[in-house]
């Protein structure tokens, strides 16, 4: 389990992240979303014991990131994908991974198996001997992901894991992340890719140098936006909008073409009432659909809109 | 400290290093040029000019000419003993316990005598004192004297001041020995200054620092990976240089003069200590700057302690002896130890990762 309590990091007069508090249970995927400079990488670096917090604390299992001895133990059980792959370009993919696996003390035979498994999962095994300097950005990113995973860490920190990847490669990585979750690993992701976060994260935190909102992606949208239901009608009588607005549950209705759009609080209870009212007024309902608000809508409203 | 981790880091660095053929070439070439080719370029003309016809204030012990093939020393059975002769021409005579002055001595055997202001040709001399005398086409052993002009002669002296070559040799040996100390201190500056800041600029330092590797292990690995190629190429040049210099010098001195005790001690103690000092200082610099060029510029200063030693030796202020070599090796090793602990103490992961100015 990862527990952050008031984690704060300042660089001189600049506050990178302030009062970051979160609990991430084991086996979950946690996403950190925010614009550039919001403190995402700094937070990940603190949790990876690369930099020390200015104040606050964080525990990974029973180890405190602020203590030097604990930091050694934490590093042993984490895998980090930094925002830039940072590979040794003259060496092959295999040697790059082998180097890190050795530093994590993995025995030779197990090392070979682990490297083969990760490179095969990321479809790079056939090119393991080629110097990675000649690889595309996406391939380098995949090797960097493999490097973070080669020692089978319990906690995985991924900074923009699908950046530079094409859609097919992104899917491979996403599926791999879900596979890691399924085997019980805890994954902490920094990302700008909101649809990806929405698809794979159990919990997301929107940050802009401090936590703006935290929760399940869908719950965040529901909490932030009223639920909007569209009723597609066979015809729209001229007085419909005026008459239906008298209903308390449909006070914020509008007409768009053949659609009656209503903001409702409890669709499960309100939709049947509206449909009954329409039928009673000789208007047939062809379709009923609920508009979904995406994480992107949440992000844009909270981060770009400056709302809290 | 887990030395295994340092070893892993070193092996990875050497793996990367092996791919840089031009860098390897320069690391091998520099000691070869300075420690092998340059000394040979100095010694070959030096020994060849010193063994030609030479006027000695007191002739050199090391002179080993040979008579031309068709010349020989002739003598008769006539004997002169316990005499003092002046302004005579003496031929084909065995002379012993004599004093010859202003004489022309041709094809004689001269033992236990004194010869001054004379000319000796085609003769054989033993245990004789020569003064202001010209000797041509002759052999001599156990000689002594002053102001002798030897022409195509093979004269060996038992009690003399050193010859020009024997005066020059130790000085030249010291100069070349300094090369074998300065070179290993200079060679690693490029590799070592790149070690940390290069990884930082390559962005490979962050994942490396996220492994369980400690600061000490990381530094030790980086130090070894700069130290080993530098000392390896220095030792290669040393073996080649010593071998070839011996080949050049043996005909003139009669024995292999290198490596002497000072050279052996220096190459085994001072050279590695100087190399390590340079590596440590460069790795320290590399961990404190954010740009490779700045690291390399600053790295140039780290050879200063070695240059001090070199200047001391070359200026004659410092006499190299086994004792001084051991003392310097101790001083350098102490500096090395201090530098390692200092580098480890000031190694700051956060600052390395986050400071870019």
Give tens-digit pLDDT for A87-105. 999 999 999 999 999 999 9
Mean pLDDT, all residues of chain B: 83
Least Cα distance to B333 among B272, B261, B263, B266 occurs for: B272
Confidence band, pLDDT 50/70/90 cuts, at residue A53:
very high
pLDDT of B101-123, one tens digit each? 888 898 899 999 999 988 999 99
Whole-number Cα distances in Å, B158 to B137, B250, B300: 20, 19, 49
Confidence band, pLDDT 50/70/90 cuts, at residue A86:
very high
- Lowest-pLDDT range of A31-40, B70-79, B99-108: B70-79
pLDDT surpasses 80 at A121: yes
Q: Which residues of A touch B225 (CB under 8 A)?
A: none
Mention every residue, 6+ apart, whose C-beta is less than 8 A from residue B176.
B35, B39, B241, B245
The reply to whether residue B15 touches residue A91, judged by beta carbons under 8 angstroms, is: yes
Instruction: Please tell me the predicted confidence (pLDDT) of residue B162.
Output: 54
**Peptide bond between residue B139 and the one before it cis (omega within 30 degrees of 0):** no
pLDDT surpasses 60 at A308: no
Choose from A52, A85, A99 for mutation: most chain B CBs within 10 A.
A99
Structural tokens at position B182: 């300065």
Distance CA B115, CA B109 (A): 13
The reply to whether residue B350 touches residue A51, judged by beta carbons under 8 angstroms, is: yes
**Residue A13 CB-density burial (10 A; 0-12 exposed, 13-18 middle, 19+ buried):** exposed
Residue B163 vs residue A37, higher pLDDT: A37
**Percent of chain A's residues with pLDDT above 90:** 49
pLDDT surpasses 80 at B56: no
Confidence band, pLDDT 50/70/90 cuts, at residue B312:
confident
**DSSP characters over A258-280:** TEEEEEES-HHHHHHHHHHHHHH
Q: Which residues of B touch A107 (CB under 8 A)?
A: none
Instruction: Please tell me the predicted confidence (pLDDT) of residue B329.
Output: 92
Nearest neighbour of B204 by CB, restricted to A11, A76, A87: A87
Looking at residue A238, what DSSP letter applies? T
Structural tokens at position B266: 């220096």
CB contact A12 to B (< 8 Å): no
Looking at residue B128, what DSSP letter applies? -
pLDDT surpasses 50 at B293: yes
Average pLDDT over residues B95-100: 91
CB contact A102 to B (< 8 Å): yes
Instruction: Please tell me the predicted confidence (pLDDT) of residue A105.
Output: 93
CB atoms within 10 A of CB B171: 12
Instruction: Please tell me the predicted confidence (pLDDT) of residue A305.
Output: 64
The two beta strands, B54-56 and B89-91, are unpaired
Instruction: Please tell me the predicted confidence (pLDDT) of residue B193.
Output: 85
Q: Which residues of B touch A100 (CB under 8 A)?
A: 207, 211
Mean pLDDT, all residues of chain A: 88
pLDDT of A256-297, one tens digit each? 888 888 888 788 888 898 898 888 888 899 999 887 777 777
Q: Which residues of B touch A148 (CB under 8 A)?
A: 207
Confidence band, pLDDT 50/70/90 cuts, at residue A166:
confident
**Percent of chain B's residues with pLDDT above 90:** 35
**Percent of chain A's residues with pLDDT above 70:** 96
Instruction: Please tell me the predicted confidence (pLDDT) of residue B164.
Output: 64
The reply to whether residue B210 touches residue A78, judged by beta carbons under 8 angstroms, is: yes
Distance of CA B123 to the CA centre of its chain: 39
Instruction: Please tell me the predicted confidence (pLDDT) of residue A187.
Output: 95
The reply to whether residue B349 touches residue A45, judged by beta carbons under 8 angstroms, is: no
Q: Which residues of B touch A188 (CB under 8 A)?
A: none
Average pLDDT over residues A237-247: 83
Mention every residue, 6+ apart, whose C-beta is less than 8 A from residue A284.
A233, A234, A278
CB contact B203 to A (< 8 Å): yes
**What are the residues facing A285 on neighbouring strands?**
A233
A54 to chain B, closest Cα gap in Å:
12
**Residue A294 CB-density burial (10 A; 0-12 exposed, 13-18 middle, 19+ buried):** middle
Nearest neighbour of A99 by CB, restricted to B8, B209, B349: B8
Distance CA A88, CA A156 (A): 21
Q: Which residues of B touch A76 (CB under 8 A)?
A: 212
Confidence band, pLDDT 50/70/90 cuts, at residue A306:
low
Nearest CA in chain B to A74: B212
CB contact B1 to A (< 8 Å): no
Query: In this structure, are residues A22 and A4 in contact, taking their beta carbons and an 8 Å threshold?
Result: yes
Q: Which residues of B touch A49 (CB under 8 A)?
A: 210
Task: Kindly provide the ipTM of the predicted complex, given to two decimals.
Answer: 0.81
Average pLDDT over residues B73-84: 72
Instruction: Please tell me the predicted confidence (pLDDT) of residue B356.
Output: 67
Distance CA A97, CA A116 (A): 10
Instruction: Please tell me the predicted confidence (pLDDT) of residue B4.
Output: 92
Nearest neighbour of B211 by CB, restricted to A45, A51, A75: A75
What global pTM score does this model have?
A: 0.73
Distance CA B103, CA B128 (A): 15
Nearest neighbour of A50 by CB, restricted to B16, B206, B212: B206
**Residue A218 CB-density burial (10 A; 0-12 exposed, 13-18 middle, 19+ buried):** middle
Instruction: Please tell me the predicted confidence (pLDDT) of residue B292.
Output: 78
Q: Which residues of A touch B349 (CB under 8 A)?
A: 50-51
pLDDT surpasses 60 at A205: yes
Whole-number Cα distances in Å, B293 to A86, A262, A292, B290, B300: 20, 65, 55, 9, 11
Instruction: Please tell me the predicted confidence (pLDDT) of residue B23.
Output: 84
Instruction: Please tell me the predicted confidence (pLDDT) of residue B63.
Output: 38
Q: For the packed helices B164-186 and B21-32, what is the interaxial angle rounded to 10 degrees?
A: 160
Instruction: Please tell me the predicted confidence (pLDDT) of residue B62.
Output: 33
Distance CA B55, CA B148 (A): 6
pLDDT surpasses 90 at B314: no
Query: In this structure, are residues B159 and B142 in contact, taking their beta carbons and an 8 Å threshold?
Result: no
pLDDT surpasses 90 at B158: no
Least Cα distance to B216 among B6, B70, B29, B356 occurs for: B6
**What are the residues facing A289 on neighbouring strands?**
A230
The domains found in chain A, sorted by start residue, are 2-221 (3.40.50.300), 226-292 (3.30.70)
Q: Find the Cα–Cα–Cα–Cα dihedral A101, A105, A107, A113, rounded to 10°.
A: -30
CB contact A86 to B (< 8 Å): yes
H/E stretch holding A290? strand A285-291
Would you call B10 helix, strand, or coil by DSSP? helix
pLDDT surpasses 90 at B172: no
The long-range contacts involving B284-287, CB below 8 angstroms and separated by at least 24 positions, are B284/B339, B284/B342, B284/B343, B284/B346, B285/B193, B286/B192, B286/B193, B286/B194, B286/B195, B286/B196, B286/B197, B286/B198, B286/B222, B287/B196, B287/B197, B287/B219, B287/B343, B287/B346, B287/B347, B287/B348, B287/B352
């Amino acid at each position: 389990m990862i527990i952050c309590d008031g984690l704060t990091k300042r660089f001189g007069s600049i506050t990178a992240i302030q009062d970051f508090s979160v609990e991430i249970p084991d086996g979950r995927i946690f996403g950190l979303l925010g614009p550039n400079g919001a403190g995402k990488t700094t937070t990940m670096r603190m949790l990876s014991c690369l930099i020390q917090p200015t104040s606050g604390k964080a525990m990974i299992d029973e180890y405190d990131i602020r203590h030097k001895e604990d930091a050694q133990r934490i590093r042993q059980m984490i895998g980090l994908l930094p925002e830039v792959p940072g590979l040794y370009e003259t060496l092959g993919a295999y040697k790059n991974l082998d180097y890190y696996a050795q530093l994590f003390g993995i025995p030779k035979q197990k090392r070979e198996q682990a490297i083969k498994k990760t490179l095969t999962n990321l479809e790079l095994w056939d090119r393991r001997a080629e110097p990675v300097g000649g690889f595309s950005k996406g391939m380098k990113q995949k090797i960097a992901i493999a490097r973070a995973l080669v020692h089978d860490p319990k906690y995985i920190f991924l900074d923009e894991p699908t950046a530079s990847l094409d859609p097919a490669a992104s899917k491979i990585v996403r599926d791999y992340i879900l596979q890691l979750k399924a085997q019980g690993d805890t994954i902490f992701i920094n990302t700008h890719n909101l649809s990806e976060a929405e698809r794979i994260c159990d919990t997301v935190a929107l940050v802009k140098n401090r936590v703006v909102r935290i929760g399940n992606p869908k719950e965040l949208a529901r909490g932030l936006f009223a639920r909007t239901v569209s009723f597609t009608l066979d015809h729209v009588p001229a007085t419909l909008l005026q008459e239906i607005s008298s209903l308390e549950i449909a006070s914020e209705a509008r007409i768009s073409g053949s659609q009656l759009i209503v903001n409702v609080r409890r669709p499960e209870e309100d939709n049947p009432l509206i449909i009954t009212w329409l039928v009673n007024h000789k208007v047939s309902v062809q379709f009923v659909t609920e508009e979904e608000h995406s994480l992107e809508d949440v992000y844009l409203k909270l981060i770009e809109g400056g709302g809290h | 400290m887990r030395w295994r981790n340092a070893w892993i880091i070193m092996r990875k660095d050497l793996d990367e290093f092996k791919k840089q053929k031009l860098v390897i070439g320069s690391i091998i070439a520099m000691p070869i040029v300075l420690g092998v080719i340059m000394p040979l370029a100095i010694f070959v003309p030096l020994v060849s000019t010193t063994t030609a016809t030479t006027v000695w204030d007191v002739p050199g012990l090391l002179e080993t000419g040979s008579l031309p093939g068709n010349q020989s020393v002739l003598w008769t059975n006539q004997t002169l003993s316990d005499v003092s002769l002046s302004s005579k021409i003496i031929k084909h005579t065995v002379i012993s316990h004599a004093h010859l002055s202003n004489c022309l001595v041709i094809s004689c055997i001269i033992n236990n005598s004194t010869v001054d202001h004379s000319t000796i040709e085609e003769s054989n001399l033993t245990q004789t004192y020569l003064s202001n005398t010209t000797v041509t086409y002759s052999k001599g052993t156990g000689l002594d004297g002053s102001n002798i002009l030897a022409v195509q002669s093979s004269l060996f002296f038992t009690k003399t001041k050193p010859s020009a070559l024997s005066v020059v040799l130790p000085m030249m040996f010291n100069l070349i020995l300094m090369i074998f100390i300065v070179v290993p201190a200079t060679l690693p500056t490029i590799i070592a200054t790149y070690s940390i800041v290069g990884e930082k600029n390559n962005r490979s330092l962050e994942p490396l620092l996220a492994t369980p590797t400690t600061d000490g292990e990381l530094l030790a690995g980086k130090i070894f990976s700069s130290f080993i190629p530098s000392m390896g190429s220095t030792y290669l040049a040393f073996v080649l240089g010593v071998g070839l210099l011996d080949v050049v010098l043996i005909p003139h001195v009669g024995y292999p003069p290198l490596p002497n005790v000072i050279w052996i001690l220096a190459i085994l103690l001072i050279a590695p200590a100087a190399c390590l000092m340079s590596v440590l200082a460069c790795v320290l610099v590399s961990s404190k700057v954010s740009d490779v060029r700045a690291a390399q510029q600053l790295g140039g200063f780290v050879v200063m302690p070695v240059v001090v030693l070199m200047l001391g030796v070359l200026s004659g202020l410092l006499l190299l002896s086994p004792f001084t070599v051991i003392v310097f090796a101790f001083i350098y090793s102490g500096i090395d130890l201090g530098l390692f602990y200092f580098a480890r103490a000031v190694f700051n992961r956060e600052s390395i990762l986050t400071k870019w100015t």
